[in-house]
Structure 1
Amino acid sequence: MRLRRASCLTCYWHEGEFVVHPYPGGTPTALHPAAAEVLAAFDDWVEPAKAAESLDHLTPDTVAEAVQALHEAGALLAEGSDEADRDEKVARRWQTWAPEASFFHYATQDVPYADLERAGGNRQGEADTTPVDTAVSAVDGPSHSMFTEYPDADRVLLPRRPADLRVPYEQVLYARRTHRDFTDDPVPLPTLATLLSTVFGPVDYIDSGRSALFRRTSPAGGSRQELDAYVGILNVTGVDPGMYHYNLREHSLELLSPGLGRDEVVRLGAGQDWIGGVAFLVVLTAVIDRMSSKYHTPRCYRVSLLDAGHLGQTFALTATALGLGPAQTGAFCDTPIAERLGLDNIGHTPLYVLAAGTPHPDPKWAPPRATLDTFRATTLR
């Protein structure tokens, strides 16, 4: 029987052990680090005895035991097996994004959901270098941080006069577009305030059985509300340009660092010229402990990404209803943005960038409508 190393395979150190983790469907297995050398001998289909010739510094029994363990774990695959066929298909389909995306996707599949709500520890940040989290004690589990606040920061208290959001739903839904062209007209502060409170503010508070939680206008996994909103102001009436944190409990903008120019925004936005024309941007950041203190499975990082998408859609629809042109992008420079916001990029990290401005009446970046020639060049089925 000839064997080959799985193409979909990640190895790593975890809690002092060397782990071989094939995917999809393989078993993460702790082995001696020499297993990596054994795996290297199976780069292509080969009989175990033939592969052992290149491992002559290891005893035959050691090689045989390693091969058996690696085969049972799914790290070595038998020629002609269903597992080998699936491995080749997955590797081929995911090759553009491998190994990072494919490993994350499959390693977080099929988790034991009965274990999702085990209680765990909650880490707290250093007071002198990180924002203050308003902690709520749990009855039978760890405390969780309900809000992020910067108590010593200068702030702008936002108006609470609601803007008119009574635009028909159908009109808003079909009018929503991703905008790339904006005028130089400033966004009125009451409009920004309404957008922030509608998308990110608390709607009500609930008793989770452990502690109080709050709900927003968007769904959130377990109502953990692990996503914070940081606002970069470029062109809003009554607010100086700079980087701010939206304090949703106080309904205020907390100044983190003054000054923000269009060239810097373009650099932070991975060189995309259009983002320099927005009136403001909103960086969604994840407070990891707020989710992981309750949910220990790594699948819940997926949930945080989905939650960012939920907030992004609510942002886009609300901005449209307010007469703004919304935009969003996953293309941004993570580390420079985290540094600009004063985040450690460890327990508090950026996930998504939203933006808006006054939409241009004659957009140059708007895509043309598809024509007959367009459809002729398109594979429809």
Structure 2
Amino acid sequence: MTQTEFRRARTLVIYWHDGELTAENYLERRSTDTEAENAVAVDPQAVELLEHFTDWSTVEKVAASLGEFDAESVREAVLSLAEAGLLIDRQGESREERFLEAWRDWGEEARFFHFGTRNTIYTGDSLEQRRSDARWVRQTGGTPPPIFKSYPDAPRVYLPRAFLPLGDTFGDVLTRRRTHRVFTGEAVSLAQLSTTLFYTFAPMQLYDAGDLGTLMLRTSPCGGARHELEGYVAVLDVQDVPPGLYHYNAEVHALELVDADFDRARLHRLTYESEMCTPSAFVCFVTVVFERTMYKYRHSRALRVTLLSAGHLGQTFVLTSTAVGLGAWQSAAFRDEELDEALGLDGFSEGAMYMFGAGVPVLGETGMPAGISRAGLTVPRRLVAAHPADTSAGSAIG
């Protein structure tokens, strides 16, 4: 009779949780019908047993090498580890290998986050269910966190509310938007800065969310209207605004001074000496106030939504910048801990997530960003693949 072979799963993470050593196979399939944790507590004996299954082996072989345990107890332990997904049999090998090949270029952190937050159970979205959920959130979470942040003792620059008209058609703005990396060095007008910040970060409306308190509605969508994202602005060359690092107070539409000495040299360091960021007229650092999301959403899948919200905000920023005549860019290339320190944040309750900036762009002859040319005639790849020996088409077009 063929003996079943087992091997330790290659998609395990082991960590301490509530005083217990905990193991989890994040690739293990999760039920979307019943709430069940994939993670299980493991004792030293279980860890030792997992070590014996680094390569394919049978219960009998491992039991023979563990003289202090009888074969039946080893078998029970192995089956328990297999049921928890910590050991796999030959049937699970193919799926694991396909995964490891597909995700070979990304580290364990990305793998664990993506697959560890899959198949979360949702409670439903009926009006009755939403009200019930809101009551539970209020009962277990207490008073909702503030929806606005401010630096009450900081010097302020109150921004004008005479906003520039966004007169171009939506289609024109969409098709004109490009990532710009080269700027003229001209100062951006105060109206351009004010308009861009207002339509990106300020509330368009406020509404009564019952047990969840008063919430704001921006131009960008955000899961549960939590709007956990804050904006900090490095002003480098804006008319009538002293250079420095500011917090944008969305409630009163004002810049609050955080660091008057912040300059291009500091920005250059924080953005890995980026030749795109440093010449900008202003740069926005987007941070996450984690409590705003965690207050309502207690599952780690909510971090996915926060990342999406940052992308929504970035798209609104670049489209608005385009509409007021600026060139814009977005990036996640910054020194996280140093940026948090520059912003005066601990990185835990609030931390940097994203950044985007704008300036007066340098345009090429075709109206494209400087350094970018429109594509000419090219040979369709399927044509070349279909006739690999016939090079006449490529020669004629090239």
Same fold? TM cut 0.5: yes
**Cα deviation, residue 33, structure 1:** 3.9
2:22 counterpart of 1:19: yes
2:210 counterpart of 1:205: no
User: Deviations along 1:65-99, whole A, 9 cap, x unmatched?
Assistant: 432221001111111x1x32211111111121131
Alignment check: 8 A CA contact 2:181 2:275 kept:
no
Q: Secondary structure at the match of 2:57?
A: coil
Partner of 1:173: 174
Alignment of structure 1 residues 1-381 onto 2, 5 Å: 1-26=4-29, 27-53=38-64, 55-56=66-67, 60=71, 63-79=74-90, 81=91, 83-114=92-123, 117=133, 141-210=142-211, 211-362=213-364, 366-372=371-377
Q: Which one is further off, 297-306 or 137-146?
A: 137-146
Q: Secondary structure at the match of 2:148?
A: strand
TM-score, structure 2 as length reference: 0.85
**Cα deviation, residue 236, structure 1:** 0.9
* Structure 1 gaps, min length 5: 122-136
Alignment check: 8 A CA contact 1:181 1:365 kept:
yes
Q: Give distance in 2, aligned partners of 1:235 and 1:277.
A: 9
Alignment check: 8 A CA contact 2:321 2:358 kept:
yes
Alignment check: 8 A CA contact 1:139 1:209 kept:
no
Q: Give distance in 2, aligned partners of 1:35 and 1:374.
A: 59
TM-score, structure 1 as length reference: 0.88
Q: Which amino acid aligns with 2:146?
A: S
Alignment check: 8 A CA contact 2:8 2:55 kept:
yes
* Structure 2 gaps, min length 5: 30-37, 125-129, 387-398
Q: Which one is further off, 356-365 or 298-307?
A: 356-365
**Cα deviation, residue 207, structure 1:** 1.6
Alignment: residue pair count: 364
Q: Give distance in 2, aligned partners of 1:168 and 1:39.
A: 62
Alignment RMSD (CA, Å):
2.6
* Off by >6 Å, runs of 4+ in structure 1: 118-121, 137-140, 377-381
Q: Secondary structure at the match of 1:254?
A: strand
**Cα deviation, residue 233, structure 1:** 1.0
Given the superposition, is the C-alpha separation of residues 151 and 184 from structure 1 closer, same or farther in structure 2, using an over 3 Å criterion? same
**Cα deviation, residue 55, structure 1:** 4.6
Q: Give distance in 2, aligned partners of 1:230 and 1:107.
A: 31
| Greater gyration radius | 2
User: Deviations along 1:127-170, whole A, 9 cap, x unmatched?
Assistant: xxxxxxxxxx9999432221111111111111111101111111
Q: Give distance in 2, aligned partners of 1:41 and 1:164.
A: 69
Q: Give distance in 2, aligned partners of 1:163 and 1:187.
A: 13
Given the superposition, is the C-alpha separation of residues 24 and 60 from structure 1 closer, same or farther in structure 2, using an over 3 Å criterion? same
